[in-house]
Amino acid sequence: MKSTPVRDPANDHLLTPQNCALIIIDYQPPQVFTTVSMDRQVMIDNMRALISTAKNFKLPIILSTVNNSNGRNPDTIPQLKEVLGDIPTIDRTSINSWEDEEFVRAVKATGRKKLLIAALWTDACLLFPTLDALKEGFEVFPVVDCVGANSHEGHRAALQRMIHKGAQPVGWNSVACELQRDWARTATVPGFVQTAVDQGGAWGWYLTLEGEIAAYHNYKGGAELRAADKKSTTENRPH
């Protein structure tokens, strides 16, 4: 098995750790609690996985809130702040974050032209900056399993409008796989796998189960490990 040479990561048409940034907008209690187009707990779990993915691959992360510093809204929910750590927050009064000077400066300062955006709600704080960023020549990737709106109709209409203008919808797991790209890039594999385990979806559940089997029954999962054992047995066989 031999992988092809690594493409130029800055100019790859796919997402790479060197060509994209993660934008997180308004995951505050009023927005989270009034989201109805997606299960809120699943959305939070997916967001935690998305943030962990971004940190594992060392993506620039821009975090923004609305009306927190003036006391009208609480801060980003603690479930996400726990994963975000010391990443600073840009607070705004504008519904459209692209109409906040500090926010736009921070996005452009990353030097990245591919923007992964997760925001609440889909039909406002995700929609408006997506349309503006697209107009300015950015490629925008709304992370659709991390977002929602206060109506199913509004959520669907906003996604259709964004896609019509050129946005490219993705899911958090797709983002993780696209950034990892090759199991031979071993530096980020542990974080990649751990994120799936922590997220707790089907793949994470399977990885957890395989780990338990390995721990209690000395089972070695994966074809490569079994092939290595077979090779070792053959080499040590008396001739």
User: Percent helix, strand and coil across the chain, each rounded to 5?
Assistant: 50, 15, 35
Number of C-beta neighbours around residue 73 at 10 A: 17
DSSP-assigned letter for residue 140: E
Q: Which of 50, 67, 38 is nearest to 159 (CA)?
A: 38
Q: Which residue has the tokens 């010391």?
A: 86
Joined together, the tokens standing for residue 82 give 């726990």
Q: Which of 23, 20, 17, 72 is nearest to 47 (CA)?
A: 23
> What does 35-99 look like in DSSP terms, one character per residue?
--SS-HHHHHHHHHHHHHHHHHTT--EEEEEESTTTTSS--S-HHHHHHHTT--EEEES-SSGGG
Which residue in 20, 125, 146, 177 is the catalytic one? 125
Confirm whether 20 is a catalytic residue.
no
Cα–Cα dist 53/138, whole Å: 21
Q: Which of 13, 21, 48, 27 is nearest to 116 (CA)?
A: 21
Residues assigned a catalytic role = 125
